[in-house]
Structure 1
Amino acid sequence: MIAKKKKQILVYVYVCGDILHEGHLLQMENGKALGDKLIVGVLTDKAVMEKKEKPVMEFRERLRLVQSLKCVDCVVPQDEYSPLSNLKSMQPDILMESASHIGDFYLEELKREFQGRIIMTPYFPEQSSTAIKNKIKGQKNNEV
């Protein structure tokens, strides 16, 4: 009897990746644990600036850092803040979506259009790149 090959479960996560932190890592590791392959979309500068300030790190650097993580199987550029375009072309089974995006302009469309499962992950503001940047700025201001 020939065993039928099981379909691999693809999981999609997306990050800016500017100042990688434990929150990023946990989301990616949890995504990997839910499937066979983890695809990570790294937001281009243009995509990030749809919602936030220009990243400190160059896109190429952010892409390489994410690529180097052992839980990551594939890294792709994400040209819009919404992952919908990448989801349509890659058709993953699961999207890991941060609770920090609740209320974002694209989330309702995403829920309507994406055929897979959306898993909302907790957001810890103290683990955000913005919080880390603000902490660094605060320390510099006190150093004189």
Structure 2
Amino acid sequence: MKKIGYTTGVFDLFHIGHLNVLKRAKLECDYLIVGVTSDELCLSAKNKKPIIPFSERMEIVEHIKFVDEVVPQVNYDKMEAWNNLKFDRMFVGDDWKGTEKWNQIEQDFAKVGVEIVYFPYTSHTSSTKLREVLEKIK
């Protein structure tokens, strides 16, 4: 049976950390769906607008060979995403592991047979660090 995987991200200032997550996720499933966070959701959640516009971030992720399908992420409701996409595995950075929110999501997903796979967070490269460098050279 085909294993469907799902992961999400802003994917602003696309870098090697993003590529590694997508590559690793694809090794753990047969079909990888990626949710790209909308500008509005990013603004409301992180209080900052991505540097790269949403449509361009969607297009970049669509052209990664490890990605089979790209969908907009317009809210953080993971059960709603599962209801729409019916994935078997969700891939998340291990910086979320053990948090109250993700413990609850794990419990909810266990009821519908979804496994959460945590990947090590790549701290040496991040969009936040790239953004800080860009701010300094303005």
TM-score, scaled to structure 1? 0.83
Structure whose alpha-carbon radius of gyration is higher? 1
Asked if 1:13 is matched to 2:11, the reply is no
Amino acid at match of 1:120: Y
Q: Deviation per CA, 1:110-140: give whole Å up to 9, x if none.
A: 11212311111111223211111112223x1
Match of 1:95 among 90, 94, 109: 90
The verdict on how the C-alpha distance between 1:128 and 1:35 changes in structure 2, with shifts beyond 3 A counting, is same
Cα distance in 2 between the residues matched to 1:29 and 1:107: 23
The verdict on how the C-alpha distance between 1:126 and 1:137 changes in structure 2, with shifts beyond 3 A counting, is farther
Match of 1:63 among 30, 54, 58: 58
Match of 1:29 in 2: 23
Cα distance in 1 between the residues matched to 2:4 and 2:85: 9
Cα distance in 1 between the residues matched to 2:81 and 2:107: 15
Cα distance in 1 between the residues matched to 2:80 and 2:104: 11
Match of 2:76 in 1: 81
The verdict on how the C-alpha distance between 1:117 and 1:54 changes in structure 2, with shifts beyond 3 A counting, is same
Q: Which 10-residue stretch deviates more, 92-101 or 103-112?
A: 103-112
Amino acid at match of 1:70: K
TM-score, scaled to structure 2? 0.86
The verdict on how the C-alpha distance between 1:103 and 1:129 changes in structure 2, with shifts beyond 3 A counting, is farther
Structure 1 segments of 4 or more deviating over 6 A?
none
Q: Once the two structures are aligned, what percentage of the paired residues are identical?
A: 28
Conservation of the 8 A alpha-carbon contact between 1:95 and 1:119: yes
The verdict on how the C-alpha distance between 1:21 and 1:55 changes in structure 2, with shifts beyond 3 A counting, is same
The verdict on how the C-alpha distance between 1:54 and 1:83 changes in structure 2, with shifts beyond 3 A counting, is farther
The verdict on how the C-alpha distance between 1:130 and 1:48 changes in structure 2, with shifts beyond 3 A counting, is same
Conservation of the 8 A alpha-carbon contact between 1:42 and 1:62: yes
Q: Structure 2: 5+ residue runs without aligned partners?
A: none
Give the alignment's Cα RMSD to 1 decimal: 1.8
Q: How many residues align?
A: 134
